[in-house]
Amino acid sequence: MTQNGQAKKAVIRVQRFNPDVDRKPYLEAFELEITDDTTLLDALEHIKNYLDGSLTFRRSCRHAICGSCAMNVNGANTLVCNRRVAAFLDRKGQVTVRPLPYLPIIKDLVVDRTSFWEQYLRVKPWLIPPAGYDDSLPATSEFRVTPEEVAALKTAETCIMCGACYSACQVVAMNKKYIGPHALLKGFLRVLDPRDGDPAGRLEIVGGEDGVFRCHTIFNCIDACPKGLNPTQAIETLRKLAQKRQAFEAARLERQKSL
Ligand code: SF4
Ligand code: FES
């Protein structure tokens, strides 16, 4: 450990599971020295480098931007690369790290995110050009978006696809067909983007039987999101728009004439 501050002992209880040898997951405790600056990811890296090289987890950027290190810490989903161990220690100096819940475990802290990505693709997360737009020709004008239109997106574009909201969602836990908060937030982003050419088609998908009307408004997604995003509010907006999707598409076509 190389951080500042006085070193102290901490116990990191990590859920282990190797499908080749274990019948079910179990907790394993590792004692190590931390300082006030030691992150949960630092602690996991220390365990892997010095105590048990078989410990398996995902991480990449270490800066809360790649979304790969989402885990469940003391019962709540979070990123581990930007959270300090000291903030999670109980009176016994322990913290418990588990994989994201409600997803199949591949090994230790690594979960299978296949359903997460499949649902994401259902909302067509890419921009669809307006009808008649030929992207093989050189652009002759800009797609101009007003500051008000950007503000309406409510920073949804800062989602890092970490899966913390998806895995915290009780509806996802019960029904893997549900599109899920992460993908509905992306659908919101595309539906409200004035450059997009298929808002009615998108609203048909997100307003369908696996979409926004399945949400029970439990707010777990908001509590779990490490970026402070609000998928529930986006879902609420999509619910309203889905009920008037043809009128919304007509207004979009009018708007695009001024682009
Ligand atoms: S909405 Fe938040 S919790 Fe959900 S995937 Fe995006 S960043 Fe992660
Ligand atoms: S390692 Fe990239 S978000 Fe944590």
100 CB near ligand 1 (under 6 Å):
no
Predicted confidence at residue 37, as pLDDT, reads 95
226 CB near ligand 2 (under 6 Å):
no
Q: Is the pLDDT confidence value at 35 over 80?
A: yes
81 CB near ligand 2 (under 6 Å):
yes
Predicted confidence at residue 259, as pLDDT, reads 63
What does the pLDDT look like over 64-107, one tens digit per residue? 999 999 999 999 999 999 999 999 999 999 999 999 999 999 99
Residue among 42, 44, 59, 225 whose CB has most ligand 2 atoms within 8 A, to mutate: 59
For the domain covering 8-111, report its CATH number.
3.10.20.30
The gap from C-alpha 8 to its chain's centroid, in whole angstroms, comes to 33
Largest CA distance in the chain: 66
159 CB near ligand 1 (under 6 Å):
yes
Predicted confidence at residue 4, as pLDDT, reads 60
Instruction: Give Cα separations from 175 to 75, 167, 172, 257 (angstroms).
Output: 21, 12, 5, 41
> Exposed (0-12), middle (13-18) or buried (19+): which is 1, by Cβ within 10 Å?
middle
- The residue that leads in pLDDT, 133 or 17, is 17
Q: Which residues of 62-91 are buried (b: 16+ CB within 10 A; e: fewer)?
A: bebebbbbbbbbeeebbbbbbbbbbebbee
User: How do strand 8-16 and strand 94-98 relate by DSSP bridges?
Assistant: parallel
Closest ligand to residue 117's CA: 1
Distance of CA 80 from the midpoint of ligand 2 (Å): 7
Predicted confidence at residue 29, as pLDDT, reads 98
What rounded mean pLDDT belongs to the chain?
94
The model scores a pTM over 0.85: yes
Instruction: Give Cα separations from 141 to 133, 235, 258 (angstroms).
Output: 12, 33, 11
Give mean pLDDT, residues 140-158: 87
* Per-domain boundaries in the chain: 8-111, 114-257
Q: What is the DSSP letter of 100?
A: P
| Ligand 2 atom showing the smallest separation from residue 59 Cα | 1
197 CB near ligand 2 (under 6 Å):
no
67 CB near ligand 2 (under 6 Å):
yes
Q: Is the pLDDT confidence value at 141 over 80?
A: no
Predicted confidence at residue 257, as pLDDT, reads 79
> Exposed (0-12), middle (13-18) or buried (19+): which is 190, by Cβ within 10 Å?
buried
184 CB near ligand 2 (under 6 Å):
no
Give mean pLDDT, residues 50-64: 98
66 CB near ligand 2 (under 6 Å):
yes
What does the pLDDT look like over 158-188, one tens digit per residue? 999 999 999 999 999 999 999 999 999 999 9
R_g of the chain computed on alpha carbons: 22
Q: What percent of the chain has pLDDT over 70?
A: 97
Give mean pLDDT, residues 228-246: 95
Q: Is the pLDDT confidence value at 2 over 60?
A: no
Distance of CA 154 from the midpoint of ligand 1 (Å): 13
For the domain covering 114-257, report its CATH number.
1.10.1060.10
